[in-house]
Amino acid sequence: MIGALTRRRALAITPFAFAGIVALTSRKGPAPAPAEDVTVVPFDDTGNAQAPVKKRTIVRSDAEWKKVLTSQQFYVTRRENTDTPYTGTYYDLHERGIFRCVCCGTAVFHSNAKFDSGTGWPSFWAPVAKENVGTRRDTSMLMDRIEVHCALCLGHLGHLFDDGPAPTGLRYCINESSLRFWRL
């Protein structure tokens, strides 16, 4: 049965669940950044890229974000936490579509760049448009990683690793709670 919680899978995710509990109780999240202009590439509902546009980054208070996000979405995207692997459905989703930021709707990944990384998180070898995602160094949880965020609202999406498939060799390991899937 695909997606069943086997004993092996339960043992594999236990450390991540523990780390998530520690992270939820200890992280305060970043201070809101001041609004600035960024260029993003909009995608229409049929998946076609539009001309790049300059927009002001979306800045909201925690109270405002909590009104539009579930508690899990808030803690992942606004507090930079991580979903437990194999708990969602997107890691095993094989339909054609666009993955959008759950906070602001910016297109961030396309299903044609998605691959099965075996990690339990949705993984992509490239963003839908390089302008739509940003990266920065993340040294939280005693690790040195590259954090991936939405360029428009700075919502935490996941992390970037260099162990992905061709053509880029990259693996954008993304939290399901930070995404909304739009079927094409």
Q: What positions carry a catalytic annotation?
A: 173
CA separation for the pair 148, 133 (Å, rounded): 7
**For residues 171 and 122, is the Cβ–Cβ distance under 8 A?**
no
